[in-house]
Amino acid sequence: MTAPFRFLHLADLHLDTAFRGRSDEVREALRRATREAFEAAVDTAIERGAHAVLLAGDVFDSEVLTFATETFLLEGCRRLGEAGITVVYCTGNHDPGGAAHRVRALPWPDKVHLVYSAAPTTIDILDGRGEPVGRVVSAGFAKKEQHDNLAAKFPAMDGGLPTVGLLHTQVEGAEAGEAHTPYAPSTRTDFEKPGYHYWALGHIHKRQQVFADLPVHYPGNLQGRHPREPGPKGGNWVEIPPMGLARVAFVPFAPLEWQTAAVRDPAGDSLDALVTALAEAVPATEAGRRLVRLELSGASPLAEELRREDNRAELEAQLAARLGALDVEVRAGDLHRPVDVEELRASPSPLATALALREQALTDDELLDRLVPEGLSPAAATDPAERRAYLRGLLADLEPALIERLVAPGGGE
């Protein structure tokens, strides 16, 4: 029986990202983590007997690549080649393949196929006996700003061999696509052409199968770079039998994991009690180390103290020690001191007036229409009853927001 076509799909390594705004320790740890993740991916491909490793663009973060990283990357590709593993690397917007760009100048090992042309090229992948086991069709970026639909240029295939499309692209409708510039934009129709068993994509950093009924996959980036890229990061291990569907399994490689936790009304009227409460709000992780962001909101007896940078720094240091985290960031701008709402309602103040107006507008149509005239809220329906129902839905959740914005720190309004 013929063995399945086995490969590892990686994307968006962004080697030598600057990580601006982070401390020297965190920047160095993140740079090192990206290299460690790629090294783990190379080890996995060799140990599992992969036929190929597919790199779907943005292997570099920019043209500025250190000599140490250049040597590291080429050594990893050399190790793969010595194990009989073919590397197919299509360029993206961060590592375009034009003649003047860095990626073209590197001395790539023999078993690396660098694809930098917008015209699709087909590469047969051979097994240890020299027999074709799979096929990769790929196109790349010759320049950074690629606005053409490259996926539309891919030819239909006969399906005689397990076939993979490899491309750096933004698929219309993909989750988290709004965080990326829509380079090489593509649509569902582009991936419905016959003969493809798997589409190995890069550019969007969130792992996903874009369409439930089509094998169109982003593996996510190899190592999260900031808090907006949380959770485990790695690549897709894929096996495609000669007759059958692709089997896809995510493999985590990143040694660092970003975590974000939103905590409302954090408990604790002392530093030690607050550290305990916040540490319990951060979920456990299997990652070797983590970087944590805590977003605090609502009422806290320590709200005023947490507005001081030195107090937040001490809280962050103690949380880092408690969680075993490389770094902790605490955002406390939306905290306010605990308040007695009924006392506030009874006191003459702008807040009391705002709360009374809100409560009255929940039942008084005339007042609601005066407070929010037609046309002031474009999202509201034009039908009066529907419009009032929409506005009252907004008012229902307004009381906590009014208190947070109108109650000043330090005890007064």
Domains and CATH numbers, the chain: 5-252 (3.60.21.10), 256-336 (no CATH), 341-406 (no CATH)
CA atoms of 166 and 392, how far apart (whole Å):
50
pLDDT by residue (tens digit) across 116-155?
999 999 999 999 899 999 999 999 999 999 999 999 999 9
Q: What is the percent of the chain where pLDDT is above 70?
A: 92
Contacts of 153 (CB under 8 A, 6+ apart): 118, 119, 120, 139
- Write down the H helix ranges in 285-397: 309-323, 341-346, 350-361, 365-371, 384-396
Say yes or no to pLDDT of 105 above 90: no
pLDDT by residue (tens digit) across 393-411?
888 767 766 766 666 544 4
Say yes or no to pLDDT of 252 above 70: yes
Say yes or no to pLDDT of 377 above 70: no
Confidence of residue 64 (pLDDT cuts 50, 70, 90): confident
Return the residue matching tokens 């460690």. 36
pLDDT at 229: 94
Say yes or no to pLDDT of 166 above 90: yes
Mean pLDDT, residues 1-30 = 91
pLDDT at 410: 43
pLDDT at 325: 93
pLDDT at 101: 80
Say yes or no to pLDDT of 347 above 80: no
Mean pLDDT, residues 55-61 = 94
Say yes or no to pLDDT of 111 above 60: yes
Mean pLDDT of the chain: 90
Highest averaged pLDDT of the listed ranges 2-6, 60-64, 246-250, 383-387: 246-250
Highest averaged pLDDT of the listed ranges 15-29, 335-349, 352-366: 15-29
251-254, long-range: CB within 8 Å, 24+ apart, which pairs?
A: 251/8, 251/41, 251/44, 252/286, 252/287, 253/37, 253/38, 253/40, 253/41, 253/44, 253/222, 253/223, 254/33, 254/37, 254/222, 254/223, 254/224, 254/287
List the single range of 103-117, 308-322, 335-349 with lowest mean pLDDT: 335-349
What backbone torsions phi and psi does residue 396 show, to the nearest 5 degrees? Answer: -60, -35
Strand partners, 199: 165, 216
pLDDT at 20: 87
Q: Is the full-model pTM beyond 0.75?
A: yes
pLDDT by residue (tens digit) across 271-325?
999 999 999 999 888 766 899 999 999 889 999 999 999 999 999 999 999 999 9
Neighbour count for residue 230 (Cβ, 10 Å): 19
Q: In Å, what is the CA distance from 20 to each residue of 95, 99, 185, 299?
A: 20, 29, 29, 32
pLDDT at 2: 77
pLDDT at 378: 60
List the single range of 42-51, 118-127, 372-381 with lowest mean pLDDT: 372-381
Highest averaged pLDDT of the listed ranges 81-90, 104-113, 176-185, 366-375: 81-90
Judge whether 330 and 319 are in contact, CB under 8 Å: yes
Q: Name which of 153, 157, 163 is nearest 52 in CA terms.
A: 163
